Every structure is written in structure tokens, then in C-alpha cells.
Structure 1
Amino acid sequence: MSYQIPSYFLIIEEDELNRLRKNLNSDDTVPSKLKVEKITYDIKIAYRGAYTRKFRKRSYTINFKDEEKFYGARKIHLNAEYRDPSLIRNKLSLDFFQDLGVLSPDSQHINLYRNRDLKGVYLQLESVDDLFLARRNLPSGPIYYGINNDANFSFTRDEKPKESLMSGYLQAYGKPSDDDYLHKLITTINTTPESKFLDAVSQQLDMDKYLNWLIGAICTMNNDGFTHNYALYRNSETGLFEKLPWDYDATWGRKVSGGIMEHTYVPIEGKKGNHLLYLLFKLSEFRKLYKKKLEETLETKFTIKYMEPKVLSLHQSVRPHLLLDPYKNRKIEIFDHEPDIIFQFIKDRRNYLQRKLMDF
């Protein structure tokens, strides 16, 4: 079963487009219009990403006027997925997290036209903000993005003190006073003795949902996701933080560069740079919880049987559009082989994790 890929039409004046190109590393927006299903929206658009801005096919952030919310959103992201030969890994990952019970952005592939010229297949990503919460009937609460490796839940990075507790975090929604909650969480992580650690952290972090996130990160093997490429949301009713995935294209056996990533690259205990994770795995009680949940996932959801229809549906839906993508159409032979690479990764990664669990 496949899913539909709509077409979006970006209408932008040449002068505004040149402004974007001349300020490649800037997040400043320029005005333009976006036509979707016969409705034309006034928007402001900017490039997004870090090193990806230098690629021929670039990614965008699109802002809508509040009074013209786009299907209940004021902001969306259009990712070029330029280095992923399959173009489906990011969506496959985010959907997998949703299956595990983790708050995760919705996504869909689209065809993007710019001034009538086809620019290819993009992945539209939902923005994690207050409207993200409203669409899910969730209580309001602050949201932070972990934007670099300073977002490691530690007082230090590479054994050097960080400039502040907020280093590495960008508040996407909330009030300045909400920073106190994140300060408290990081302080608790770094000052609580081991005998009281799990109880103290569990009073500020939804541990069950954190475990779900961890299982997703371990299975999909996103190396960057342990110290950035995530969002934090504090549920104002429970008073607990939840961790959400973000930018998961380097997964399912592919590196950020697009090359093959060995299935053992990320250890079963995750990336050591995540100080919270490092401290949790020192606790036998946490290790037991983790082992039980990971074993269950390896038997149910992280299997070829479970993932195959999802992979093939996405792959088959994207293929006819990729043939027309001016940046990717010459890579069709590689694209056609991608499901096999993903399935082999699942098989190898699953076997590796099961072996490690025997001595866990």
C-alpha cells in the first residue's frame, strides 16, 4: 500500500531568491508565496540546516502568517534528504518512533516546484512548537531543541566547562522563566548521588517515554541523536520532560555522508557523550528496565517482517517521483537497492543487539 505525494509550488521573485543565495548561512527569511491544492499562501522562506546549505539541492524553512495557518501549522520544514540515497530514512525513523509511543513529528514526501521548475522530492517535516502540542491535545509547556553537542545533559563538554547550562539548547517555545526547569534537570543529573539518582531524575523526566526514545535511537542507530538532533518538551500537567527525535536521515545503515555505517557503530548503551545516559547505565535497575523493553522491541517492531511493508510502501511511492527529480534521477540504480540495504541492516543490527543482551 502506497501513500500520495502532493505537489507544492513555490513562487518567489528573482531578487528575493538572489538574497537567499547571497546569504547562504543566514536564517533570515525573504517573502514569497506557496501554492498548495489551489490555495496560495503568503510565506516567508529561508534555507535550513548546517553543512547541507552548500549542497546543490537545499532545504528550507517556511513560515506562514498566523491568520493563514497551513493545516494547523505556522511553520514547516522541507528537507532535501540529499545525502540519503533512499530519501525515506528520516520518515521511516520518525514513524518508527511513533510506533514506539514517542512524541515525534509527522512527515510526508512532496514534490517541490520553484517558479514552475521541478526541484525534486522533499520531505515535509512538522515543526515541534505549541501548535504541535495543540494538534495532539497535549498540555502547553516549554520546548527546546538540542542544536549541538553541548546538549549532552552535562556541566562540561570534552572535559571543559560549558559557558552556561543552556549551552546547546534553543528554546523553540515557552517563557524565559521556563529555563529554570531545564536548569534544574541538568543540575539534578550532575549533582545527585548514585543511590538517589533514578528516583530524583524520574521526578523531572518521564522515564518510561525516555526509554521508548532510547530504544528508537538504539535500533535506528542515529549517532548524533544522543547529544543533539532532539527536542525536549516539558508537560505542564505532569511536570515531566519528554525527549523527541529530530533529523533522523543518518539511520538504518547509512552515515550522514550517505556511506554505509557498520551495524555495530553505536554500542548497545548508546553514545558515551550523553552524560545522562552514561549515569543511568551505571544503575542495575535501569539496565533491567532497558533490557526488558529492548527485548520486546526486537521481537515485535524491529524486525524485517514488521518493517518490510513500511519500507516498500515508502520506497515504491517515492520511486516514480525520484525519476523526475533533477538532482537524484541519475541515482535510480542505487535507490532501487536501498530496501535490501535497510533489511540487511535490520537483520545485522537486531542480531548484534540480541547477542549483547545475553551478557547485559
Structure 2
Amino acid sequence: MSNHKLPHYHIEIDPYDWKEMQKDVWSEDPVVANLIVGNNKYDIDFVHRGSHIRKVTKKSYQFLFPQVTAGIKELHLNAEYIDKSLIRNKLSLDFFSSIGVLSPSSSHVLITINDNFQGVYLQLESVDRYFLKRRNLPHGPIFYAENDNANFSLVSPIDEDLKRRFESGYSRKEGTSEDKEALRELVYQINTIPPKKFEEEIQDYVEVDKYLRWLAGVVCTQNYDGFIHNYALYRRSDTGQFEMIPWDYDATWGRDIHGKEMEYDYIPIEGYNTLSGRLLDVPSFRERYYHLMKDILNKQFTVEYQKPIIDSLYEKITPHVEKDPFMKKHLERFYEEPEVIFEYINDRNRYLKRHLADLL
């Protein structure tokens, strides 16, 4: 049973504050709480997180430490309630790491609030300055893509009109107001560099190889929203180039945002958004994407590669999921999900291999 041990976070909140939190799940005001892990006790600010997840019975939360603790300022605790496997988000983020994309780390933990067991959660690393520091990466601004306006276009898909601000759709997590100018310039240049100069000049703004790896990751996992939000942008201070960081990948591996089956051929091999389209219009970039995708389809995006990972995750979390009060009605679905994922990988892999020739 030692292999099944997960970290257990005990959270103590004033009963009145906890009652108020439960009454107003949309509040962005954190409450003071204590976090107890083993023999260690920490002061934290505690708040709900997420959007549509606040409407379901098992909520997601966020820890904010008043001071940096063990190199951490904040942590996200995802209920993963809509994904009945509880693993798709982690599986995706680890998949991105395996194909060379900068990606947050994650791990399953147990949560108890005021002596009431809340079940299995996914702890997610926050993408912030400490995220960069832990990886010995140069400092730089980080922007979160929050809505469909983060589509790298000058035109908003929301109202199909010219954007009033080119940085629309993003919120700044790290950096200064001056860094917004670099983001505005990125969006402007993506849309205005002449085709004959695009191959050379876009590399002043985008780390193309990293972007193509990210694109392959989104296409394989079929995160439909991932092309226009569900990512962060990080601009390296040493090169001035932007990199993509994936985020919020539970609606993947054969399921959509409602937990329903998504057809394996829903997203084309080229993906979409303005930057993807312009990059893949360049023959050398398109060829590079072809070779990247072909390599991933032969290695990381296979049942052979992913099955031991999925089996290991299930071995660790199953004893605790069986005790999760929010999963009692969904255990049969939980047990079935690995086969759903394996079938998806096989079908999606074959589909993408058939369409590799479209890139040549």
C-alpha cells in the first residue's frame, strides 16, 4: 500500500468563513486558513478557482502563501470533476513536457477541509516568476490567455470586429505595463509581416520550433479551446522570443469540456489560429512540423508509450478515488476511462498519420 500514498493536505478554515465561501462560489476574495501537511503548518489565503467548474458539486481551489514558501507563492488544486478519469490534465501536461514544451508540473493529492474529506485533487504548479526560477530560465513577462480574443489575430472572433487593443484576451501575470507593448507588437507583426519576409522576421518574435512542438501537442490531445486560450505566453528576456505554455487540459484524450466523447477526427492536423496558419504557410516550417509530428506519432503519442503512465497513475489514485465522496456515483465510469483513452490514442494516431501527407 505504500505505493498508493498521496500527500494529504488538511485545511482549517473558520466555520463562518467556510460557510460564506460555500454560499458565494464566485467570490474572488480569499479567506485566511491554515494548511497542515504532516507536521508542518502554514498560513495561507484560500479561494475558489476556475469558471464552469464552480457550477459542479466538487469545487477547485487555490492556495496563496503570504510569503514565498519553499520557492512557491501559489498552488492550484483542481477537482477534475468533469473528467471522470481524474488524469487527463496531468497526462496532457506530462505529454507536452515529453515532446519538449515548457509545461507546468502536477501531482495528485488528497484534500480534507475542516475534518471533511474532499477526495482526490490535482495539484498544479502556478506559471509565474517562481515557475521560471525553478527551471533556471531567464526572467520575462508572462501573459495568461483568458478568452477567445487570444487568437493571434487583429480581429476578434467574439464580435468579428477589429480589436480595440491588440493585447485583448490576455491578462498579465508577470512583468510590467511596458511589457504589454511587446505583446501588442507580437500580435501586430504576426498579422502584418509580408509573406516574403515572414519566415525570417517572425523568428525575432516567436521561438518557432517550440511553437510547432506546442501545436503538435494540442493537435494530438485535441484541446479544442487550446488554440485560442488555455495557454500562457512567456517572453524570454535573453532572446525576446515568446514561448507557449499549456494550461487547463482536462478536456482532451477523447473527451470535450462537458465530458462527452469527442470524435477522434474533430481537429485537423494543421490545427488553427492565425499564427499557426501563417507559420504553416512557410514551406520550411511546414516541413519541420511534418517531421516533428511524425516523430511524436511514432514515439510519445502511442498506447505503448502512454499505457504504463496511465496504469501507474491509476494504481496510485484508485484506492483514494474509491473513498472520494464525489466519485461514488461515477466509479464505473472511472474504471472504464483508460480504455476510452487507449481507443482514442489508436484512432487519433491513425487519423493523423493518414494526414501527414497533407503537410508536404
- For Structure 1 versus Structure 2, the TM-score category normalised by the shorter chain is over 0.9
How do residues 41-190 of structure 1 correspond to structure 2 at under 5 angstroms?
41-67=42-68, 69=69, 71-158=70-157, 159-190=160-191
Q: CA deviation at 1:88?
A: 0.2
Partner-residue secondary structure (3-state), 2:355:
helix
**How many angstroms apart in 2 are the aligned matches of 1:224 and 1:3?**
33
How do residues 167-246 of structure 1 correspond to structure 2 at under 5 angstroms?
167-246=168-247
Q: What residue in structure 1 maps to residue 311 of structure 2? A: 312
Query: Is the 2:105–2:125 Cα contact (8 Å) retained in structure 1?
Result: yes
Q: What residue in structure 1 maps to residue 299 of structure 2? A: 300
Residues 1:9 and 2:10 aligned together = yes
Query: Is the 2:215–2:276 Cα contact (8 Å) retained in structure 1?
Result: no
Q: CA deviation at 1:155?
A: 1.1
Q: How does the TM-score come out when normalised to structure 2?
A: 0.96
**How many angstroms apart in 1 are the aligned matches of 2:228 and 2:3?**
34
After superposition, the C-alpha distances for 1:253-289 in whole angstroms (9 at most, x for unaligned) are: 0111111111011111113xx1111222222222111
After superposition, the C-alpha distances for 1:12-46 in whole angstroms (9 at most, x for unaligned) are: 11211133233322221111111112211111111
**How many angstroms apart in 2 are the aligned matches of 1:97 and 1:317?**
21
**How many angstroms apart in 2 are the aligned matches of 1:106 and 1:249?**
14
Q: CA deviation at 1:249?
A: 0.3
Residues 1:266 and 2:267 aligned together = yes
Q: Which letter does structure 2 place at the counterpart of 1:43? A: I
Residues 1:33 and 2:73 aligned together = no
Query: Is the 2:75–2:124 Cα contact (8 Å) retained in structure 1?
Result: yes
Change in 2 beyond 3 A, CA 1:138/1:234: same
Q: CA deviation at 1:4?
A: 4.2
Q: Which letter does structure 2 place at the counterpart of 1:213? A: W
Q: What residue in structure 2 maps to residue 24 of structure 1? A: 25
Query: Is the 2:96–2:217 Cα contact (8 Å) retained in structure 1?
Result: yes
Partner-residue secondary structure (3-state), 1:104:
coil
Change in 2 beyond 3 A, CA 1:267/1:359: closer
Query: Is the 1:2–1:313 Cα contact (8 Å) retained in structure 2?
Result: no
Q: What residue in structure 1 maps to residue 250 of structure 2? A: 249
Q: CA deviation at 1:221?
A: 1.0
Aligned-pair identity in percent equals 46
Change in 2 beyond 3 A, CA 1:90/1:59: same
**How many angstroms apart in 1 are the aligned matches of 2:268 and 2:173?**
31
Partner-residue secondary structure (3-state), 2:290:
helix
Query: Can you give the 5+ residue segments of structure 2 that lack an aligned partner in the other structure?
Result: none
Q: Which letter does structure 1 place at the counterpart of 2:300? A: K
Structure 1 stretches of at least 4 aligned residues deviating more than 3 Å after TM superposition: 1-4
RMSD between aligned alpha carbons? 1.4
Q: What residue in structure 2 maps to residue 339 of structure 1? A: 338
Q: Which letter does structure 2 place at the counterpart of 1:129? A: D
Q: CA deviation at 1:106?
A: 0.6
After superposition, the C-alpha distances for 1:58-111 in whole angstroms (9 at most, x for unaligned) are: 0011101215x1x32110000000100100000000001111111111100011
**How many angstroms apart in 2 are the aligned matches of 1:300 and 1:24?**
42
Query: Is the 2:254–2:263 Cα contact (8 Å) retained in structure 1?
Result: yes
Q: CA deviation at 1:131?
A: 0.5
Q: How does the TM-score come out when normalised to structure 1?
A: 0.96
Q: CA deviation at 1:202?
A: 1.1
Shifted more, 13-22 versus 254-263: the winner is 13-22
Query: Is the 2:49–2:60 Cα contact (8 Å) retained in structure 1?
Result: yes
Q: CA deviation at 1:56?
A: 0.7
Q: Which letter does structure 1 place at the counterpart of 2:225? A: D
Q: Which letter does structure 1 place at the counterpart of 2:264? A: H
Change in 2 beyond 3 A, CA 1:347/1:112: same
Q: Which letter does structure 2 place at the counterpart of 1:161? A: L
Query: Is the 2:4–2:319 Cα contact (8 Å) retained in structure 1?
Result: no
Shifted more, 155-164 versus 237-246: the winner is 155-164
**How many angstroms apart in 1 are the aligned matches of 2:267 and 2:309?**
24
Partner-residue secondary structure (3-state), 1:133:
helix
Q: CA deviation at 1:334?
A: 1.1
Q: CA deviation at 1:355?
A: 0.3
Query: Is the 1:2–1:314 Cα contact (8 Å) retained in structure 2?
Result: no
- Pairs aligned (count): 356
Partner-residue secondary structure (3-state), 1:63:
strand
**How many angstroms apart in 2 are the aligned matches of 1:160 and 1:14?**
48
**How many angstroms apart in 2 are the aligned matches of 1:136 and 1:37?**
27
Q: Which letter does structure 1 place at the counterpart of 2:146? A: I
Q: CA deviation at 1:2?
A: 5.8
Change in 2 beyond 3 A, CA 1:222/1:127: same
Q: CA deviation at 1:3?
A: 6.7
Change in 2 beyond 3 A, CA 1:185/1:16: same
**How many angstroms apart in 2 are the aligned matches of 1:266 and 1:38?**
48
